[in-house]
Each structure stands twice: as structure tokens, then as C-alpha cells.
Amino acid sequence: MTRNRSFADPMQPAARITALLRRMHAIVANDATPQERLDELTRAIAQHVSADVCSIYIRQPDESLELYSTLGLKREAVHSTVLAWGEGLVGQVCVTQRPLVTADAPLHPAFAYRPETGEDPLHSFLGVPLLRSGKALGVLVLQNKKSRRYSDDEIEAVQAVATLLAEIAASGELLDETATRDVDEILHLPERLSGAAVVPGVAIGTVAFHEAPAPRHRVFSRNRTEDLKRLEAALEALLASVDDMLARSKLEADSREVLEAYRLFANDRGWHDRLRSAVQSGLTAESAVERVQGENRTRMSEARSPYLRERLHDLDDLSYRLLRHLTAGPIHTEALQEDAIVLARTMGPADLLEYDRDKIKGLVLAEASPTSHVAIVARAIGVPLVSGIGEALALAESGDAIAIDGDTGEVFIRPTEDVVSSFSQKRELQSERQAAFARERDLPAQTHDGVEIEILINAGLALDMAHLSATGAAGVGLFRTELQFLIGTQLPRVSAQQKLYHDVLELSTDKPVVFRTADLGGDKSADYMEREHEGNPAMGWRGLRMAVDRPGIIRPQLRALLAAAVGRDLYILFPMVTLGSEMSVARALLDKEIDIRRQRGQPLPRDIKVGAMIETPSSVWRIDEIARQADFLSVGGNDLAQFYFAADRNSAQTQRRYDPLEWGFLNFLKRAVEGADAAGRPISFCGEQAADCVFAAALIAIGLRRFSIPPTAVGAFRRFVRSVSVGELRDWFQNAGAAASENMRRDLSIFLRGRGAAIE
């Protein structure tokens, strides 16, 4: 066999790959039959790699792997040798979607001998999957007669070639019409994914991307000079945007280093040179970015240095931004069609609220925990949410049919008819269940032993107030006012805030509404808010600590609340209270606004009650001090649990690790309840965890009697309350709770079911 050049040559790896890509470009452009082009590509790859055999297997619609081209095996084996899915080393590469390397293939446990190929004398094996849109379209195989190890440079080079082969196969530039149609069918096979159930409910609709992926494009360039110009213009625009971002960020020295490092990556000459080299080899500018991005991902994911691995996110983000500049595609949300299910890596609460609520039917996020703010908003507006499925972004295409189950965490992309039928039936059953809850809305939330449990709802928009009548809730235990601050392009005017609060009170039909002042900071800030970067924003400058430092935000809000509630009872709740002194400052700001209205002869609310949110361990330990400054207290269960367990509420990994239904945490909450009772202050529990009836049973056992929960959970919560006895719950907690501390959820669930409690 003749070889022009080998990867063992002293030539630099990048130059060798570039030379091979140029030759591949020329082959694809040849006026030849698809088989002739494929055979020539196989020959080119073999000649540039020190291998005795080079073969290409293509996946078929029936999941088999057919030998489409080879140099080194018997010619008659082409289109005759077919492996079942997962069969042999080639099948293992497809199933795992990872390279497989072995120095002695016949000794590998997955080896499958095929005599018609003539591979008897071969030992070394390197197989790399042809990946496209998260699917293996085939396998590129290199083999050698002698037992040898393939170098990292060789493996990296073959991976780059395999990536391009997959792109070419999908683009229609390589295979014949029938084979291209088969590849397209594989790319659009139904997919079943399993993630984390975050917000319950089922939804059937079509895929829409929060950040639309780069549109499809050609792999090889038709005009190399023009693609180079496009690349340079995109790089220039990217660097300008990064510089602008840094200029607008007023950061301290240590925090500024983060963005400076990001700018260094953006200006990295080596990155730019590799992009230019990829275009010079014959790729389009878009394909060059994707190829270099793939190389970076491989290197960084395998790097031993934690710092280098962490920079993978920066490199991905830069590549994404560069692609957006190249394609001039939308960086923000795409227009929604009817019955849209939105896919995204992550999303903030304001992003979700920007969508048309009549069109968005579900959410699939790569990163979102049950207590993240986007989950809270999704739950409030009744949008099912599944998280932890990042691969959905690669497997789905805009407009694909999709079905999601927020109860089980399942996602079906391009679902089959039986799946659609099953989902439709489940949706009907859920509608019937909600109808049953609606018939029970006027029943008292009273336990078997006559204890009244007050059920309130969480809200954040005037539209949410319709849930009061629909659910029969006693009022709004938490109205999140920050959503109005996050949606706009500037701080909302006092008049706009006053109108919202007045409308909410009008819609409440005299039921109490607790307005929480804007809980800004952390992950809740709008583009117009200039903030310093914080390494741990959840414990940073947020909530009441931000409000007392920036009275220009909270005083206008207090002014609007006082004006909106004239002649009514006004309940104001301050978030993220840590010390009694913070409440003193907040009350002084409120008193100042009250005095101004009095001096101007303006009317005031009929009564004003001020509350404090207990969300930090320090506020639990100082609850007596805080209670002296407050008329009522509210436990913010989501934040309190995150600080108690030192587990980020937005991290799916830590949220799965720690269950708030835990002996120590419950006793910590019990201390807060006892402190409020001793001070003579009513206390409520406000948190998504209370929608979990098993956890709610433990909360009732430790003395909580007021709950503010998502509207969608009210029906099930009322039915649960009416099925239990407070005395039995208290006795179980006191007598069996400590013994069940290793698995309290399991043991309490068994106890509740044994008593006939409605916890399903």
C-alpha cells in the first residue's frame, strides 16, 4: 500500500490535519459517483494515517451497521458485511458513542469475527463514531497488522475527520440519494430521555429553542477568500462585544480577573490561527468554528488541571457567540408557534415570563432544580418542567414534535403514535383530577381532629389572582413583586407599581395579600441593573441587605404600596432578613414614607402589618429579636434549606443529594415555630417544598398551621389536610421521627398510607 504521508511524520499535527481536510474537500467536489467519492475519501484517510486498513461503516434505519467503503479489507465485503446494533467492536463504538482503542482486537471480549472481510492478520484497532446531532451515524475504523498503540495526536486527528464525515453524510454531499435519506431518517428517529421531574404536568407540542442553534450550513467552502473575510469580521465583532462587556462591568480587582481571563481566551492568537487554518483547509467559517470547538472540548474534558476543565464553559460560550455573529442569527428568544415546548440550557424567571403564556406549554432545561426561580415561576403559571437533559438540545430540531412528563421526568422527542395517545390520556386524567379538586374548593381545610390549616397561594402577576377564586385559597401568602422589576428595561415607575398593586388588591376580593418587597440580587437582576460580580451571589448582596443600601429602589416601592392600599389592610413582607437591625432600618424607611403621606394630607391604608422572611440560619437563631420588629413571620423554606445544607438551590446535583424531610432540618424549623409562638407572632411556611404532602405532614407535626404554596398544589393539599389528624402526626414525629431519621421520607410515607392519607 502506498502512503503519501503518515501521522508518524515530523510534520505538525495541525498541518497534517489541514492537508487531509484539503484533500477531502477536493474529493467531495469531484464529479464522480457517491461510491467513488466515498472510496476515494477512505483511501485519502488511510494514506494520511499509518494504518493498514481504513473502513467506513454507515448506520442503517434498521439499526444495523453496513460496511460502505474500505481500503485494506476484501472489496467484496463492501455492502455485504452487516453488523447488528452493538455487535463487535464497531457496534460497541456506535452504542457508546466513544472511541474504542485496543492493541489486540481478537482478544477483546466484544470482538466479532467476519471471515468475508479478510481481517485475520489484523490486531490493532481504532474506531471512532461519526456523530451528528447527538446520534452515531456510523463508525470510522483504522486497523494495523502489528500490535501498536495509537497516539493521542492520531486519535484526535481521526476524531476530527469522523466529525466531518458525519457532517458530510448528513448534508447530502457524500452519499447517494437513498443513503442520504436513510441518514436523515436516523437523525429523526424517536428519542426517549429521562431527566428530573421539576414541575408536574404533561404537555404535547413542538420544539422551540430559547436560544436558536446555528442554522444548517455547508461543510466545505465554495469561496475560501470570502469565508476568511466572514471569519475575520465575526472575530472582530466578537472581540468588540467582549470589550464592551468588560467596560460596562464595574468590578473589584479579584472579580474583574474573571472577565479579563475570558477576554484573554477571546483574544487568544492560537485559537484564531486554528480557526483560520480550518477555513484555509476548505471548511466554511461555521464548520471551522464547530470543528475547533470540538477539538477544544476533547482536550479540556480530558485535561487534568481543574482550571483548564473549568474554562471549557468559556470556550463553548465564545464559540457560540462567534457562530451567532457569523450567522447573524437571533441571540434572544425565537417567536413561538402554538403549543410550544421551549428547550434551553438554563433560563431566568424573567425570560420565562417574556413568553406568551397562551403558547408555551412546557419547558425542558439542561439545568434547573425544583427550587430554582424559573421553576417557581413555571409552577405558578402551570408550565410543566423537566430538567437535567442537556442532550435534548442536540437531539431535537426546531419544530419537532415533543412530549414531556413533569411527573416522571420523561421527554419524548418525535414521539410515536402510542406515546402521543398515552400522553393524551394522562392529560385527560389530570384534567379530571383538577375538576374534582375544583368541586372541593369550598370544603374547609380542616383535619380529622378539627385543626384548621390556612392555605394561601404564591403569586407574582395580576393574572395569577384568578387562582384565588379557582382554588378557594384563603389569600395570597406571597406576592413576588420583583418580577415587575425584572421584565422591563428600566426600574418601574411608582405609578406603574401602584397600578399593579391596586389591581391585585381589587382582584383579591378582600382576601389578604402579602406583598414581598422586591427580592433582587443573586440570580435576579435585569440587564439595566449594574451589579458587581459575586462569587456566591446566593449569599451576596440581595434581598433586604440590598434594599437598605439602595433606598432609591425600596422607598418608591413602599410609596406605591401605601398609595395602592388606601382604605385596605396592607401586608408588607421584607425578604432575606438576617438580623433584627436590618428590620429596624427597613421599618424606619416605611415610617418615613408614612409620615410624608400624613404631612401631605394623603390617606393611608386601614391597617399596616410588617413581616420578616426567615430564610437564613442566623434569622432562626435571632428570631426573638426579629419578631420584636415584625407583626408576622414567614419561613422561606427554599432558601433556608439551601443555607442549612450548604447546597445551592439551583444545582440539580446538590438538590438530589439533600432532602429537607430530615430530622435535623425539621427540628431547626421547629425552633423557629417555637420562637414565633413565644413572641406571639403568627408564622407561615412559604416554599415549594410544602406542595409535597409528605413533607407538609412533618411541617404540620412541628406546629405550622399556615402555608403559602403554588396554586396548582392547592387542591391536592386541601384533600391531604382533610385526610389526616394533627394528633397522630405529632405523636409519630415525637415517637418515631428520630428513629426514622435515616430515611424519614420512606417511613413517614408508610405511616401516612397506613392511615389512609391522600398523598398520591
Question: Quick one: DSSP state of residue 232?
Answer: H
Q: Is residue 59 within 8 Å of 166, Cβ to Cβ?
A: no
Q: What percent of the chain has pLDDT over 90?
A: 24
pLDDT at 305: 45
Q: What is the DSSP letter of 578?
A: -
What CATH number did the domain enclosing 234 receive? 1.10.274.10
User: Closest Cα partner for 410 from 199, 196, 210, 206?
Assistant: 196
CATH code for the domain in which residue 422 is found: 3.50.30.10
Closest among 496, 205, 189, 519 to 364, alpha carbons compared: 205
Label residue 705 by pLDDT band (50, 70, 90). Answer: very high
Residue 142 sits in a domain whose CATH number is 3.30.450.40
Q: Give the integer Cα–Cα distance in Å for 492 and 553.
A: 10
Residue 200 CA from chain centroid, whole number: 16
Consecutive H or E run containing 683: strand 683-686
Angle at 9 between CA 6 and CA 10, to 5 degrees: 155
Residue whose C-alpha cell is 477531502: 24
Cα 191 from Cα 404, distance rounded (Å): 12
- pLDDT (0 to 100) of residue 623: 93
CB 100 within 8 A of CB 125: yes
What nine digits make up the cell of 557? 416601592
Residue 214 Cα distances to 187, 278, 519, 565, angstroms: 17, 18, 36, 50
Higher-confidence position of 405 and 656: 405
In a domain, 486, yes or no: yes
pLDDT tens column, 173-183:
566 677 667 66
Residue type at 431 in one-letter notation: S
54 belongs to a structural domain: yes
Name residue 516's beta-bridge partners.
480, 573
Domain of 656, CATH number, reads: 3.20.20.60
Q: Is residue 692 part of a domain?
A: yes
Q: For the chain, what is the mean pLDDT?
A: 80
- Please indicate, yes or no, if residue 725 is contained in any of the structural domains: yes
Same domain flag for 296 and 409: no
- Please provide the DSSP assignment of 581-598 as one string: HHHHHHHHHHHHHHHHHH
For residue range 618-632, what is the model confidence (pLDDT) as tens digits? Answer: 999 999 999 999 999
- Across the beta sheet with 196-199, the strand order is 191-194, 410-413, 401-405, 202-209, 340-344, 360-365, 385-387, 196-199
Q: Has residue 437 been placed in a domain?
A: no
SS3 for 646-664, per residue?
A: CCCCCCHHHHHHCCCCCHH
Grid cell of 12 as nine digits: 505538525
Q: What is the mean pLDDT of residues 271-278?
A: 85
Rg (alpha carbons) of the chain, rounded to whole number: 31
My answer on whether 181 and 195 are in the same domain is no
**Beta-carbon neighbour count of residue 429 at 10 Å?**
11
The answer to whether residues 637 and 734 belong to one domain is yes
Residue 134: alpha-carbon gap to chain centroid: 18
CA distances (Å), origin 701, targets 79, 420, 477, 698: 70, 42, 21, 5
Give residue 348's pLDDT.
64
First to last CA, the chain: 69
Per the structure, the complete domain to which residue 304 belongs is given by: 224-327
Tell me: do 406 and 520 sit in the same domain: no
Q: Are residues 372 and 502 in the same domain?
A: no
**In angstroms, rounded to a whole number, what is the distance separating the alpha carbons of residues 610 and 604?**
15
Give the domain-ending residue among 404, 432, 460. 432
Domain count, the chain: 4
Query: pLDDT for 232-265, tens place per residue?
Result: 888 888 888 777 766 655 444 433 444 565 667 6
- What is Dmax (Cα atoms) for the chain? 100
- Mean pLDDT in residue range 536-544: 62
**Is the pLDDT score of 470 beyond 90?**
no
Taking the C-alpha atoms of residue 211 and residue 346, their distance in angstroms, rounded to an integer, is 10
C-alpha cell at 539: 449569599
Helix/strand/coil for 94: helix
Query: In this structure, are 417 and 469 located in the same domain?
Result: no
Residue 653 corresponds to which amino acid?
Answer: Q
Q: Which residue matches cell numbers 392519607?
A: 757
Nearest to 120 by CA among 77, 82, 67, 80: 77
Tally: H helices and E strands in the chain = 30, 22
Least confident interval from 79-93, 179-193, 292-306, 380-394: 292-306
Residue 471 has pLDDT above 50, yes or no: yes
User: DSSP readout, 353-394?
Assistant: HTS-TTTEEEEEESS--TTSHHHHHHHHTT--EEES-TTHHH
In the prediction, which pLDDT does 314 show? 58
Indicate if 159 and 287 belong to the same structural domain.
Answer: no
For 421, the grid coordinates are 395517545
| Closest listed residue to residue 703, CA positions, set 673, 668, 724, 729 | 673
Torsion of CA 224, 226, 228, 232, to 10 degrees: 180
CA-closest candidate to residue 586, choices 518, 534, 680: 518
Q: Same structural domain for residues 249 and 262?
A: yes
Is 90 exceeded by the pLDDT of residue 452? yes
Q: Are residues 418 and 456 in the same domain?
A: no
Mean pLDDT of 695-705: 93
Average pLDDT over residues 367-380: 72
- The reply to whether 5 falls in a domain is no
CA 340 from centre of chain? 17
pLDDT at 534: 53
Instruction: Tell whether 8 is covered by a domain.
Output: no
**From CA 181, how far away is CA 255, in angstroms rounded?**
51
Give the whole-angstrom CA distance, residue 27 versus residue 43: 11
- For the stretch 56-102, pLDDT in tens is 998 887 888 889 889 989 989 999 999 998 899 999 998 888 899 99
Express each pLDDT in 337-373 by its tens digit.
788 999 887 776 656 776 888 888 999 988 776 656 6
Q: Which of 400, 432, 464 is the last residue of a domain?
A: 432
Question: In terms of domains, do 643 and 743 share one?
Answer: yes
Gap between the Cα atoms of 206 and 361, Å rounded: 9
Q: Is residue 532 part of a domain?
A: no
Strand partners, 478: 458
Residue 654 has pLDDT above 70, yes or no: no
Whether residues 557 and 674 share a domain: the answer is yes
- What mean pLDDT do residues 417-443 have? 80
Contact between residue 622 and residue 674 where contact means Cβ atoms under 8 Å apart:
no
Between residues 125 and 740, the one the model is more confident about: 125
**Do 681 and 668 share a structural domain?**
yes
State residue 8's pLDDT score. Answer: 40
Helix, coil or strand: residue 600? coil
Q: Which of 374, 400, 432 is the last residue of a domain?
A: 432
DSSP H or E segment with residue 625: helix 623-627
